[in-house]
Amino acid sequence: MSTVTRETPPARPTVFVALPTSDLRGKKDRSAVAEALTQAGYRVVPSVAYPIGDRAAYQAAIDRDLAESLLFVQVLGQLGTPLSNEPPFTWEGLQFARAKARGIPCLRWRPKDKEFDLAAIEQFENVHYQYLTDAVAVSEIPLQDDERVQAGFLEDFRLAVEQRLKRILAVPVPTKTTAAAAASSDLEILLAPFHDDGPVADTFDTLIEQHAISYVVDDDQELQKAFREQAGVVVIWGNSSREWVDARAKEARRLAMGPGRPLLALYVGHPDPHRELVPRPSKFDIIPDGDPDALQKFVEKLRLKRQQSTTGGQS
């Protein structure tokens, strides 16, 4: 969609794609995943190999890159790189263990085809085999189900990585609200415009920026995933159909029945002044473009809700 303009461009989201195993297959598959992520607009680390031999320096380098990363991704080949006789056993295991220690989401994968001979790996690379099959723990932190090594096709794994990143990034994006407004207000609202209605969302943000910090959510993103208990949710009606408005309003009403219970409003900024809002969506304040009284009424409700929540009252 045409999103609300930022004052400065955001940094590229960073993904830690673990250094590959030493075999050609492992290097090739890791390179394919890293290249796909780069083309999709992500920054991939490490950009260079860490020197094997000095565990402390190796671990410090891992931690530096993990500190900037949203997700840990590991593509495993047929050969492991021995490290020690105790956890994490291999250099591959060390990378994963450090990611778990930092609480970063982790996805790991190995091939599942005739060329990937798991029986031979078990015979000749037993330590690596145990890592591939999650038969041994490399960290004291319990292994989560989605952290287990997935066996399958590389393209399926690549798509799974991109889907996970979309979920991680499914958080509201701050609009261009001024720093002064942000400093003076603890009110936050979520804006939900149609994908063509970025300019309409901009208009509303300008109207409310002295009262609340606005966040915008794309129209293909579920409100539930973007909601962080903002005080209000405002559906933006510009060029969208009435059917789209009703569907978004239904999503917002579900939020209003759950934890956080945001106040709901519909900002009517569509270009056709003769298009009537009938029937009106229930539980929504209606804020027509050019109606400062309706806007002020909604702002006062937001302030009352915030006051009640901070004093222990019910909103």
Q: What is the DSSP string of 42-71?
A: -EEE-SSPPPTT-HHHHHHHHHHHHTTEEE
Other CB atoms within 10 Å distance of the CB of residue 308: 12
The reported pTM is 0.54
CA 31 to chain centre: 23
Q: What residues of the chain score a pLDDT lower than 70?
A: 1-11, 170-186, 270-278, 310-315
Q: Where are the domains of the chain?
A: 14-168, 173-310
Edge to edge, the sheet with strand 149-152 lists: 43-45, 14-17, 69-75, 106-111, 149-152
Closest CA relative to residue 128, chosen from 85, 74, 92, 75: 92
Q: What is the DSSP string of 237-256?
A: ESSS-HHHHHHHHHHHHHHH
- Quick check: 91 and 81 in contact, CB under 8 A? yes
pLDDT digits (tens, 9 = 90+) for 211-268: 888 888 877 778 887 787 788 999 998 888 888 888 889 989 988 887 778 999 999 8
Given this model, what pLDDT does residue 209 score? 81
Instruction: For helices 154-168 and 24-39, give the axis angle rounded to 10 degrees.
Output: 40
Given this model, what pLDDT does residue 240 score? 82
Given this model, what pLDDT does residue 141 score? 86
Strand partners, 17: 73
Tokens of residue 69, six digits: 């990363």
Given this model, what pLDDT does residue 310 score? 66
Q: Which residue has the tokens 């020197």?
A: 51
Secondary structure (3-state) at 99: helix
Given this model, what pLDDT does residue 129 score? 95
Given this model, what pLDDT does residue 182 score? 42
d(CA 52, CA 55): 7
Strand partners, 265: 234, 285
Given this model, what pLDDT does residue 11 score? 67
Given this model, what pLDDT does residue 278 score? 62
Burial 218-254 (b: 16+ CB within 10 A, else e): ebebebeebbeebbbbbbbbbbbeeebbeebbeebee
Question: Measured at the alpha carbon of residue 171, what is the angle toward residues 184 and 208, in degrees to the nearest 5?
Answer: 35
CATH code for the domain defined by 173-310: 3.40.50.2300
Q: In sequence order, what are the residues at sequence separation of 6 or more whose Cβ sits closer than 8 angstroms to the Cβ of residue 202? A: 4, 5, 175, 176
d(CA 18, CA 176): 36
- Quick check: 157 and 33 in contact, CB under 8 A? yes
Given this model, what pLDDT does residue 238 score? 86
d(CA 66, CA 72): 8
CATH code for the domain defined by 14-168: 3.40.50
Q: Fold match between 14-168 and 173-310? A: yes
47: left (phi over 0), alpha (psi -120 to 50) or beta: alpha
Strand partners, 75: 109
Given this model, what pLDDT does residue 1 score? 30
d(CA 174, CA 218): 12
231: left (phi over 0), alpha (psi -120 to 50) or beta: alpha
- Quick check: 205 and 176 in contact, CB under 8 A? yes
